[in-house]
Amino acid sequence: MICIAGKNEIAVFGVKLLISKGINNNDVVVLTNKNDKGVAHDWQPSFKKYCNDNGIKEVELEDLYEINDLIFISLEYDRIIKTDLFRTKQLFNIHFSLLPAYKGMFTSVHPILRGEKKSGVTLHEIDNGIDTGFIIDQIEFDIPFGTTGLELYNSYIKYSEELLKKNIDSIINNKCESKPQSLENASYFSNKTIDFKSIKINFYKTCFEVCNYVNAFSFRPYQLLSYQNVKISKAIPRHIKSVNKPGTLILENDFLFEISTIDYNVNLLKDNLENILDKASKNDLELIKTYFDLGFNLNEKNDKGWNALIVACFNGSFEVVKFLLENNISNVNDSNNKETSVLMYAMTNASKTGNLSILEYLLHKGADYKHFDLNGFDIFHYATEYKNQSVINFLSNYK
């Protein structure tokens, strides 16, 4: 018996990975987090809803204690595990940091606040401590200056999937090798280390510190910091020496505030996500380029999981699509909250308009026509629903 415990995309990925390995549905059970109501997919997939929709059995933690051959994998699970209550010793967790550093909470915030240049994900055994178990494997990745908390979280998800995929056979076959964590460079942060109700920008800091502070707390599904009651999506250094008192407003326009700090001016980018999506829908390449040149993240998504590329494909904005992909800004295999892919949106547009240009271009750029969404449907299913025979015939050539 294998149990996946947790939430969001990473837990859904864990179940899908097991099924792809030939593990029978009856041999997979799940534990979902308390705040997952299973009603609808939000900014991340609902693990509970996905399992309910796909016939994966949900259990309580106590149901697992007496299973001798249990393999337990925690993927963002929200409860502390007491290992002595289990008969099995095969208890694993993926933690969002390069252990032994950043044990505990808020691993998408603390490394950015402290100006770390690298982070990573760690597969480790679960013991009775907090992220203190023996390490099995890790993947390290860079944190470029200017990374936001949400961007760092998305990197954790991406590399955790790679880490789990790399080690799943060893986990299933009980062949994992591990080593103790070093006591050097170890750190721990509890849920009391940050009071999210009191976060506020302090310009009596260096530009570097202000950027890190604003960007660390830039996590759209939960919060964006504000300046003069305007939400800020990101902070970027201006590279101009500050000559005014820290906190002095130097410039304001539709895109940003420029403000002095202790050493260099900083640009606070106003939240322009809805404007970016609007310009993408209208194929306004000039303004899309302006947003990009100013440092806006064109891959940010709204509450539906739509970003500029998805909107451009859905609306047939070919010039914007080409700009985003030719400049390696966006991922040709991106998807929304329900894992509806970029290619599926392009297919919808082609089915409605008869114009196959974007669809053909995406496939040329490596779009995955075999992708399945959270409903278990692929692009051919939806193309059949639209009944555009030209699109169906075109896609059939790729089967």
pLDDT value for 26:
87
The pLDDT tens digits for 335-355 are 998 999 999 999 999 999 999
pLDDT value for 39:
84
pLDDT value for 25:
84
Neighbours of 370 (CB within 10 A): 9
pLDDT value for 42:
84
Superfamily classification of domain 273-396: Ankyrin repeat-containing domain (1.25.40.20)
pLDDT value for 397:
84
Please count the residues of the chain. Answer: 399
pLDDT value for 281:
98
Whether CATH 3.40.50.12230 fits 2-189: yes
Q: Angle at CA 7, nearest 5°, toward 30 and 131? A: 95
Q: Report domain extents, the chain.
A: 2-189, 207-270, 273-396
Residue 350 · residue 356 · CB < 8 Å:
yes
Nearest to 296 by CA among 275, 319, 317, 326: 275
Q: Which residues, at least 6 apart from 167, have a Cβ–Cβ distance to it below 8 Å?
A: 123, 136, 137, 176
Nearest to 152 by CA among 110, 186, 195: 110
Q: Does this model's pTM top 0.85? A: yes
pLDDT value for 40:
81
Residue found under tokens 């986990």: 171
pLDDT along the chain (399 residues), means of 10: 96 96 91 90 91 93 94 95 94 98 97 97 96 98 98 97 97 96 96 94 98 98 96 97 97 98 98 98 98 96 95 98 97 94 96 95 94 92 92 86
pLDDT value for 347:
96
Q: Which two tokens stand for residue 281?
A: 């829908």
Q: Angle at CA 299, nearest 5°, toward 296 and 300? A: 80
